[in-house]
Amino acid sequence: MLATIAEDGDAVVILDQTKLPQETAFVRLTDLAGAAHAIRSMQVRGAPLIGATAAYGVALGLREGKPFDEILATLAATRPTAVNLHWALERMKAALAEGRDAWQEARAIAREDAEANAAIGRYGLAILEEIARRKGRIEVMTHCNAGWLATVAHGTALAPIYAAHETGIAVHVWVSETRPRNQGRLTAWELAQSRVPHTFIADNAAGLLMMQGRVDVVIVGADRIAANGDTANKVGTYLKALAAHAHGVPFYVAAPVSTIDFACPDGTRIPIEERAAEEFGELHTPVANPAFDVTPAALISGIITEHGVVPADQLGRVKP
C-alpha cells in the first residue's frame, strides 16, 4: 500500500491523486502555498487526509516564517465543507498556544487518523459479519472514494470491507463512478490493489440495483456530520440514501469523530462547496456544480466511528 502522506526531511511528500489511476506520482510540499494548492486542487482529498495535510501545512508555513493568522486563513479557505480541515487547524492553534511543537502535533494528527480508521474497520466488520452469517457473500455499495487514499491509512467506508476481505468473508463492492470527478475510479483502483471483488457502475444505476435486491448494505464516508447526525458527503450520496430507505437496505456512514461538527446544529448549516464548471469539460451553458449534498440523519442506520457504531441522532455519546 502506498503512503498518501509522509515526511521527507524538511518536506512533506503526498501521493498526487489527480494523476491516479493512470499514473502514480508524488509531490514534494516545501511551503504553505504548496500545501494549500494540494488541498484546493484535490491532489489530496478525503476529509481525514485534508486535515492531516492542513496540519503539516501549518508546520511548513511556520518554518517559512509566515504570520500564523495568514497560515490559518490560507488553509481554511481551501475547502469549505470538509470539517476535518478546520478541526485540524483549531487543534494546531491550541497546540501552539500551549507551547507544543507544530511538527510533533502534525505527526500526532496523522498517527491518530490511522489508528481511528483501523478501529472503524473493526467496528464496521461486525456489521458485515452479521450479514455474512445470514447471506454468505456480502454485496456492499459505496460512493465516491473513502478508502486509504482519502485518509492517512486504512480508509473509512472501505476499512470494514478490507477487514472483511482479510478475514476471508466473501465480499463484493458496487462502486459508483461519482461524477463529475469520477472518484469512483480511485475506489476501483484501490480495491483492485487489494484484490477485493468489485463492479464499477454508473451513478444512476444504484437505485435499480437496490430495487433488484442486489445490495445488502451501503457504506459511505463523510466530509462533515452535523450534531444532529445530518451528513454531508460527495454529491449523489443523498440519492443513494433515499433509494436504500425505499428498499430496506441499511445505510451507514463511516467517519472518525473529528468529522463530527458538534458546533453545527443540523445539515442546513453545513456550507456546500461549489466547484468550477470546467470539471464537466467544455460546455457552453450555465453549470451548477455542488461538490456535496446532505443526507438527513433519519435515513442513516448508524455512524461507524472509532468508538463504535452510534445512532445518527445520538452523537453526543462520542462527543469529546
Residue 140: strand pairing partners: 173, 217
Q: Are 38 and 53 in contact (CB under 8 A)?
A: yes
Q: Are 32 and 66 in contact (CB under 8 A)?
A: yes
Nearest Cα residue to 149 out of 247, 67, 47, 294: 47
For residue 283, CA distances in Å to 117, 180, 203, 204, 287 come to: 39, 13, 21, 21, 8
223, 230, 261, 293: the active-site residue: 223
Cα–Cα distance between 74 and 32 in angstroms, integer?
8
Cα–Cα distance between 312 and 277 in angstroms, integer?
33
Nearest Cα residue to 6 out of 111, 99, 90, 160: 111
- The dihedral region occupied by 269, where left means phi > 0, alpha psi between -120 and 50, and beta the remainder, is alpha
223 catalytic residue (yes or no): yes
Cα–Cα distance between 179 and 175 in angstroms, integer?
12
Q: Are 206 and 216 in contact (CB under 8 A)?
A: no
User: Which active-site residues does the annotation give?
Assistant: 223
